[in-house]
Structure 1
């Protein structure tokens, strides 16, 4: 989804993994070999790092054509990484010594800068292992597949921690399984493969997804005790509390982070706070967070904007929603698809049809393909409007919704729209569908729209049939239903049926009002039935309603 579907709907990858702090453990703090070489014309005569040694060995093996030995050395599993011939050729080109030195320097300066192809190959190996794990039934021992997949060997590959974090990400659809893998991974820490904050961060978030906040807090404490203090850990714990609706605990973690001298809040931290306050409609608190971001000289991300816009949409603050959107349009962070989806929903809720249609045109294909709830929202906006062409637009959108996707509220709104437009056939089709799905209409306004439609079309028999169905289905009845039927019977000189409506009213405990008697009087007097008309006058005096000339029919 999108953001909304990510940070606001809570079905996306953990927000903490976007933090810039994640990259920090992968970057050398000491002067890089590349910098040493630039300053002195040669490398300092220091012992090469483990990463440098592995890279030297890797490239020498490539030069000797010993690819099989290379695969066995690094992986020794069915999930071997295969370096392409193009990669090998680049390792030993015409100026091979210079290129070799450059690649060694690149790796030692920033292990995350490994060639994209090599990283993709590592990702492919992890993906294969994840597929094997996901195929396992619940409760099965993971030792065999993890050993056969040489997970330990994958953990040695650069960038550090990439394989573990990638595997946990791919297992997020089964968080309990992912936590089992994490526990197995922790055992390797004693074998010389140290844990990284990002791995704990992933595990904390997964624990939150299982609604086990105690486990999330325990993992956080374990990471702190292991001296892996990092902002991403705080972010993950905040995210876990947010997912479970524990707003006070999430804010408490934020306060702890502010007191930690080794870490400081990142933009991801503030994005989580925005989501926490936004989902509970604490708009004032959310705007305080936005001000704190400005005061910290942090730059908004696309998630910052989208989270704030989503909160304004939920709170129905259309002006603030529009201002936030315009600041995106005018700033360096441009609206993405998630932003446009949020704005489309906001415009639909606020019945701003002009902007709704313009936004819809920008993302029409995406909305039509997989945004059925949003299509229903747009239809709802049209049904509540006075748009001259609303029926055609509604019917075009209805074609995008599966026929078996019935929504009672939307069906009732469509009934009212067709009733207002005088399209009886379409209205009755939707009424029949409502009866089939046992939908009970309780809105008097909808009932009166149906009455008005039958009255304007002079369809008294259809009205009588509808009233019988509504009585049996438990729909909201009103005196206007029966008064309308009496008027229409009187206009067609069907006086016995007009008088019989009084018994129907009595059955449903609708008292006779001044209007009821006036309708009877007009029905009889219009065709010269003077005796019956005078009888009605007497009944009006008896009930204290006075002369029929004083009555007013609306």
Structure 2
């Protein structure tokens, strides 16, 4: 269907894009992932009135390039979108995009307008390996790949965690064209995303020394800020921020987002909030990334009220908040007691899909429902965890579960849970068996209580003073004084002494 739809667009594009087919070698504005470009004036500087025609241009079109008719641009984007959709829908882990490119007449479309490649590479960001394969094929076609295309390809290599590919693309681009700041920034960003600090710093120093480029711009410093923030090197991050201020470049939204992200990673909540307040009171308006960062920061910090305010702000700017931040909010509600937290947990759980299961979140939900005494919901998430082969490895989670069963006097459910935990390899502790003994003793089910001793021995839990004391209390509650005194003797025999009995 996509093939039949794309072909009729080509004659129309040829008629209206023939003037735009000249290869444009000037650098395009393609900032690295997560770093906002300084190509556009900040809100503090006066800006000319927006051009209505420019607002309809493709996002990858450079303002300095030849003009593009708005209706032709829409047809170009439609044709490229169909190619991108076909490539992204290819099955398998590492499919070959070449047949889809040929079937959808990408070579012809590229000959009509070189902008097709820029637009296609931008749309393939969700699958960077496919984007790199497309760019490799595109380099075999005419006209030659432009510098902005190399910038996008290096960005894709960073997303694909392929630093050798990023370095090779940078070398090829520097050989074919005069490198610019955007090219260096793309390489630095690729190294940053791959965690290669030394190479990123080396690229920055090379940019400083390269006479063909201007000095590092705000994007260059923003990448270093993000690099040090991710590495928890807060002092270095703040030093780079001071260097940015000394360079004369104004702080951009990317600067503030990188600083906030760095303080968030370091769990420095006060400084994170201080930077956000500086943005709000200054001339740089927070964007959707800022609001999502603050939402995540408040969630990790357990600042529930501020988290909820940040959630409302994020919804105003983003619409539907993504699952990463929904899970962060769920984590906060599970870890920190709050009014109506179960109701809010249930509302957020409605947003999760079948593929949004996370083991750590399931364990936290089990604990939260156990703390609230909601046994049925707790057991639903226990079943979910067992179905996904999740293993609980912490004692305090197990104690929360048995406490919930104890308060409900549900010894049969507790016994079934212990059996499930034993089979699934969950963390076992002596408290599990002691609790079951206490509950059997309260119901005067002494044979089952003695059976628990065998279970403890099987899992190599030795008898402690508490074990004998539970048995003594159980016999005394049944009026079996002789057996109770025998238990006291066994306590003395094992070296636990005789308890003070009132």
TM-score, structure 1 length as denominator? 0.71
1:254 aligned residue (204, 209, 217): 204
Which residue is equivalent to 1:67? none
Paired residue for 1:201, among 151, 163, 174?
Answer: 151
Whether 1:325 and 2:276 are equivalent positions in the alignment is yes
Q: Does 1:127 align with 2:127?
A: no
Do the aligned partners of residues 15 and 183 (structure 1) sit closer, same or farther apart at CA in structure 2, a change above 3 Å counting? farther
Aligned to 2:365: 414
Return the alpha-carbon distance in structure 2 between the equivalents of residues 473 and 493 of structure 1: 30
Aligned residue for 1:14? 32
Cα deviation for residue 341 of structure 1 reads: 0.8
5 Å matches for 1:99-110?
A: none
Which deviations, in whole Å up to 9, do the C-alpha atoms of 1:366-385 show, x marking residues without a partner?
77735122112111111111
5 Å-filtered alignment, 1:216-365, equals 216-225=166-175, 228-262=178-212, 263-364=214-315
d(CA) in 1 for partners of 2:268 and 2:401?
Answer: 33
Q: Which of 19, 42, 64 matches 1:112?
A: 64
Mind listing any 5+ residue stretches in structure 2 that lack a counterpart?
1-29, 42-51, 54-61, 88-95
Distance 1:405 1:212, change over 3 A: closer
Instruction: Specify which of 471, 479, 491 is matched with residue 442 of structure 2.
Output: 491
CA contact (8 A) 2:287 2:317 kept: no
What residue is the counterpart of 1:539 in the other structure? Answer: 490
Is the Cα–Cα contact under 8 Å of residues 16 and 268 in structure 1 kept in the other structure?
no
- Tell me the CA shift for residue 335 of structure 1: 0.9
CA, structure 1 residues 149+312, in 2 after alignment: closer, same or farther (shift >3 Å)?
A: same
In structure 2, the partner of 1:175 is: 132
Structure 1 residue 443: Cα displacement: 1.3
Q: 1:440 to 1:226 in 2, by over 3 A?
A: closer
Deviating runs (4+, > 6 A) in structure 1? Answer: 141-144, 365-368
For residues 452 and 186 of structure 1, the distance between their equivalents in structure 2, rounded to whole angstroms, comes to 71
**Which SS does the other structure have where 2:188 is aligned?**
helix
CA distance in 1, matches of 2:379, 2:267: 34
Q: Which residue of 2 aligns with 1:190?
A: none
Greater alpha carbon shift after TM alignment, 198-207 vs 390-399: 198-207
- RMSD, aligned CA: 3.4
SS at match of 1:112: coil
Q: Number of aligned pairs?
A: 440
> What pairs up with 1:143-182 in 2 under 5 angstroms?
145=105, 148-149=108-109, 151=111, 154=113, 165-166=118-119, 168-170=121-123, 174-182=131-139
Cα distance, 1:437 vs structure 2? 2.4
For the Cα contact (< 8 Å) 1:441–1:476, is it kept in 2?
Answer: yes
Report the Cα offset of residue 349 of structure 1: 0.7
Supply the distance in 2 between the matched residues of 1:128 and 1:364 (Cα, whole angstroms): 29
Change (3 A) 1:549 1:438: same
Distance 1:219 1:420, change over 3 A: closer
Is the Cα contact below 8 Å between 1:278 and 1:308 reproduced in 2? yes
Stretch deviating more after TM superposition (468-477 or 445-454):
468-477
